[in-house]
Chains A and B, each alone.
Chain A
């Protein structure tokens, strides 16, 4: 297996991934692991091997260089055969609990049912930056395969020693080491009985190649799926502890409002514990109803400030550069050739501006946390994509050392990049300390809409210059605020200037599924369509002419064929369009068919065909699920989702006011999977989304001749009659 991943593609920094490193890491001795886990076989990695596969910022986060070494336990095979795997990654619906179990099952040759994953428990799992950036499959999947492979090596050695035979003669299958020649076999559990073996991860170990996978590469149903359909799984908001109370937080009337005065007396008279600590005001009470009533009884006065509104957003973004940021810094600016000369020599030049609105993640389970103090030790169960990050936030908020805080993450009701932060964890912990008992805080939908963070809005200015033969000579691309993910063009263009401009965002903004790649692909692929139209060229032909990357060409061709691009018949009110690109090591092409009712203005996406390639496919059924889900979620941001705000208030922060895609928005969807068993597996939770918005915008233009350059495209429909 090749270990270099896309050496030709520089990874764009994710500037809005909210991250913070833990202050330090404590060492856990391997004897302590056996004390906790019981005997058996333990696979560990010994740091500081800052180079091992973690997040790009893993070495930074770990601060491995300041520590002599630290042992991370990854896998334990107990004396009863139970195999427990430890990973800091978390499950928010991407189904990585399943795909990572498959990875271990593959390399360990062990049934999936007997493998249990402990995920996102800061006390038990190795440090992890967080679950974002589609990194689980390219990094953690590989890491756990190595871990399992190392364990299998030890098991074979044990059997060889026991039977006094050559290990080369032994094979492994279904949790047994098999000596076919002598017709004998031994269960893993038997082999590790009475042992306290540790195996450090070797630097290199041969993994099963994708062409020989028997467990990976296959569809596998969701691990614990039965618990979910039976309503038995306890999401973070479902957790309960004895003596637990419910917490509520008093919110300011607008962002940035400052407290003038507060009177907690009425809340306290109602039997609630009320807390005013710095800018935090909250209550805890025996029931959620009492907590809600008590917080409503608090009298507080605030001083509010005038703030920009969504109606003036895009002018604001252009006029308010972030102070002190060097726009020529690495990652913010990319130049090749000579853009001025390139544009001057182009036969056709086109300058356009594209915009994207702030949108909300709307994870169906809002933020939730339960906090419990045992003396000065804090344990928090919460739904977050960054358990270790939340641990850091708690350490900072309560001035605790790392060994005093434990964060656990039960499989959570989605995130989409929206749960990187630990607000509810801190709120619950502060209230629990005051109430001297466990406290649960679950945000209301309105709180989730208002006090979380948004996908960044942005303005993208593009100038493209093309020659008569259809080749692109020059490309200038400026992104204001929305982000630099996917900002580089993958078309072959000799003269380029690509700049990201940091802006003072009027709203709190952060990660979102595919993040800025959606905005940058929307602008780029819309502009490509506009240039093709200016040249009177077929948009697919125009892309072929300017695209060399064979993986991208392959997805465009596959989608075009499935879609029937060559046979399409546009008519007034019915149009076809495409968009595609690469992001997070995946390649996608999306083709869309839309209908536009001229009179009612209704725009309907009728059909979407996606072709996707992310290396060797780990779980085809789940991959299809992720691609379809990306397209459905992407419909919202493409067609109608937008946060409206004024003077620090969200104006449409309820589900009755903020439209999300529903059953009736569902287009017919077809998915083509390109399985490249010769390439490393990449993630798929984000990339499939990026082609949809431009494909729809281009299809609307095809249907109506109206070019829409703002996301969402048609929040109020499109009347052309």
Chain B
């Protein structure tokens, strides 16, 4: 057992766990943040995607101890109070889900993509998101949701610019 200090969704937390414990298990089992999902355990499906230092990472193949102290964002940390993140809103608006088990990972990957590329092309979206599996096959809607979120962000940037 070891004490591992994590910074999750802006909060410092400490867990006592085996040093080999994955970040996914730390989040789900120790911190009860179950929005991050297990899908394959080998970084192949993206259901467990979280942001570490703003980058999309697969928490199932990341040791919790290895990211101690680094800022970690999970799906639970995206909304501001009652206000959903624009990517979450876009997924709702496009109905970009069926069973929605992959949705958390899809949204986290999409947030990471849009943070580094504000207006990705369709090809860039496909390329970036290819590590996330939606077994229900809602890919075209997820692409539409990401495009919608990018547009919404572009518009709000324009509005802010005009207001200045």
Chain A residues packing against B (C-beta within 8 Å): 92-95, 221-222, 225-226, 228-235, 237-238, 240, 246, 287-289, 362-366, 411-414, 416, 442, 444-446, 621-622, 625-626, 628-633, 654-656, 660-664, 666, 669
Q: A412 contacts B92, CB within 8 Å?
A: no
Residue of B nearest to A446 (CB): B41
A222-B97, A237-B38 known; A661-B137 Cβ under 8 A:
yes
Using Cβ atoms and an 8 Å threshold, which residues of chain B touch A287?
A: 17-18, 29
Q: In whole angstroms, how far apart are the Cα atoms of A629 and B97 in the complex?
A: 10
Chain A proximity mask over B72-114: 1 for CB below 8 Å, otherwise 0:
0011101100001000110110010111111110010000000
CB neighbours (8 Å) of B88 from chain A are: 229-230
CB pair A666–B92 under 8 Å, yes or no, is: no
Flag if A231 contacts B75 (CB, 8 Å): yes
Asked whether, in the complex, the Cβ of A364 is within 8 Å of the Cβ of B47, the reply is: yes
Which interface residue of B17, B25, B39 has the most chain A CB atoms within 10 A?
B39
Q: List 22 A-B contacts (CB under 8 A).
A: A93-B98, A94-B98, A225-B95, A229-B88, A229-B100, A231-B33, A231-B34, A231-B35, A288-B25, A363-B101, A364-B39, A364-B47, A364-B134, A365-B37, A413-B100, A414-B101, A445-B41, A625-B138, A630-B137, A655-B44, A663-B125, A669-B140
Residues of B1-44 whose CB lies within 8 A of A: 17-18, 20-21, 25, 28-29, 32-42, 44
> Among the listed A93, A233, A664, which residue makes an inter-chain contact with B136, where contact means beta carbons less than 8 Å apart?
A93
Give CA–CA (A288, B35) in the complex, Å: 18
Question: Is A633 in contact with B130, judged by CB distance below 8 angstroms?
Answer: no
Task: Pick the residue among A228, A416, A621 that contacts B97 (CB under 8 A).
Answer: A228
Which of B44, B126, B135 has a CB less than 8 Å from the CB of A656? B44
Cα separation A622 to B94 with both chains bound (whole Å): 11
Chain A residue with the shortest CB-CB distance to B101: A413
Chain B nearest Cβ from A114, distance in angstroms: 20
Q: How far is the CA of A228 from the CA of B92 in the complex (A)?
A: 9
In-complex Cβ contact of B75 among A230, A365, A660 (8 A)? A230
Contact A655:B136 (CB < 8 A) given known A231-B75, A414-B98:
no
Q: Does B150 contact A (CB under 8 A)?
A: no
Contact A231 B141 (CB under 8 A): no
Does the CB pair A625–B98 fall under 8 Å?
yes
User: In the bound complex, what is the Cα–Cα distance between A643 and B40 (angstroms)?
Assistant: 17
Q: How far is the CB of A220 from chain B (nearest CB, A)?
A: 10
Q: Which residues of B contact A288 (CB under 8 A)?
A: 25, 29
Check B38–A442 contact: CB distance below 8 A. yes
CA distance A401 to B116 in the complex (A): 58
Q: Is B129 an interface residue (CB 8 A)?
A: yes
Chain B contacts to A: CB under 8 angstroms: 17-18, 20-21, 25, 28-29, 32-42, 44-45, 47, 74-76, 78-79, 84, 88-89, 91-92, 95, 97-104, 107, 125-127, 129-143
The smallest C-beta distance from A351 to any residue of chain B, in angstroms, reads 35
CA distance in complex: A701, B7 (Å): 56
Q: Which of B33, B34, B95, B99 has the most chain A CB atoms closer than 10 A to its own CB?
A: B99
In the complex, what's the smallest C-beta–C-beta distance from A449 to chain B, in angstroms?
10
Are B130 and A664 within 8 A (Cβ)?
A: yes
B137/A238 in contact, CB under 8 A = no
Q: Is the interface of B mostly helix, strand, loop or mixed?
A: loop
Residues of B contacting A444 with CB < 8 Å? 41
State A570–B131 Cα separation when bound (angstroms): 33
In the complex, are the beta carbons of A231 and B137 less than 8 A apart? no
Residue in B84, B95, B101, B133 whose CB lies within 8 Å of A622: B95
- In-complex Cβ contact of A364 among B74, B78, B135 (8 A): B135
Q: How far is the CA of A631 from the CA of B137 in the complex (A)?
A: 8
Task: Known A93-B136, A229-B84; judge A364-B45 contact (CB<8 A).
Answer: yes
Asked whether, in the complex, the Cβ of A222 is within 8 Å of the Cβ of B95, the reply is yes
Beta-carbon contact of B76 and A231 below 8 Å: yes
Contacts of A629 in B (CB 8 A): 98, 136-138
How many A-B residue contacts, CB cutoff 8 Å? 171
A289 touches B25 (CB 8 A): yes
Set A95, A662, A663: member contacting B98, Cβ < 8 A: A95
Interchain CB contact under 8 A, A230 and B17: no
Contacts of B25 in A (CB 8 A): 288-289
Complex contact B95–A654 (CB within 8 A):
no
Complex Cα distance A233/B131, Å?
23
* B42 touching A655, Cβ below 8 Å: yes
With CB as the reference atom, state the residue of chain B lying closest to A219: B95
Partner of B132, one of A95, A230, A363, A663: A663
Q: Which of A94, A222, A235, A632 contacts B101 (CB 8 A)?
A: A235
Q: How far is the CB of A550 from chain B (nearest CB, A)?
A: 30
The answer to whether A234 and B34 touch across the interface, beta carbons within 8 angstroms, is: yes
Report whether A632 and B126 are in contact in the complex, using a CB–CB cutoff of 8 Å. Answer: no
Alpha-carbon separation in the docked complex, A10 to B38 (Å): 42
B75 touches A225 (CB 8 A): no
Nearest CB to that of B108 among chain A residues? A231
* Pairwise interchain contact A625-B101, C-beta atoms closer than 8 A: no
CB-based contact B135/A289 at 8 Å: no
CA distance A238 to B28 in the complex (A): 8
Q: Give the CA-CA distance A604 to B84 in the complex, in Å.
A: 37
A238 to B104, CA, bound (A): 13
Q: Which residues of the other chain, A, contact B89 by a CB distance below 8 angstroms?
A: 229
Determine whether the beta carbon of A633 is less than 8 Å from that of B136: yes
The interface centre, meaning the residue of B29, B38, B88, B103 with most chain A CB atoms within 10 A of its CB, is B38
Question: Contact partner of B143 among A362, A654, A662, A663, CB < 8 A?
Answer: A663
Contacting residue for B99 out of A238, A364, A366, CB 8 A:
A364
Q: Is the CB of B17 within 8 A of A654?
A: no
Contacts of B41 in A (CB 8 A): 444-446
How many angstroms from the CA of A416 to the CA of B101 in the assembled complex? 14
**What residues on A are CB-neighbors of B74 within 8 Å?**
231
The 8 Å CB contact of B32, one of A240, A289, A626, is A240
List, in ascending order, chain B residues with CB within 8 A of A413's CB.
37, 99-101
Nearest CB of chain A from residue B39's CB, rounded to whole Å:
5
Q: A289-B17, A622-B95 are in contact. Are A233 and B135 (CB under 8 A)?
A: no
The closest CB in chain B to the CB of A95 belongs to B98
Q: In the assembly, what is the distance between CA of A445 and CA of B44, in Å?
A: 11
List the B residue with the shortest CB-CB distance to A622.
Answer: B95
Whether B92 contacts A225 by the Cβ 8 Å rule is yes
Distance of A337 from chain B, by nearest CB (Å):
41
| B97 contacts A230, C-beta separation under 8 Å | no
B51 to chain A, nearest CB (A): 13
A238 proximity list for chain B (CB < 8 A): 28, 34
Residue of B nearest to A662 (CB): B130
Query: Given A414-B99, A654-B42, A655-B40: A632 and B137 within 8 A (CB)?
Result: yes
Q: Chain A nearest CB: distance from B120 CB in Å? A: 12
Q: Cβ of B97 and Cβ of A660 under 8 Å apart?
A: no
* Residue from the list B28, B36, B139 in contact with A666, Cβ < 8 A: B139
Question: How far is A287 from B17 in the complex, measured between Cα atoms in Å?
Answer: 9
CB–CB B103/A228 < 8 A: yes
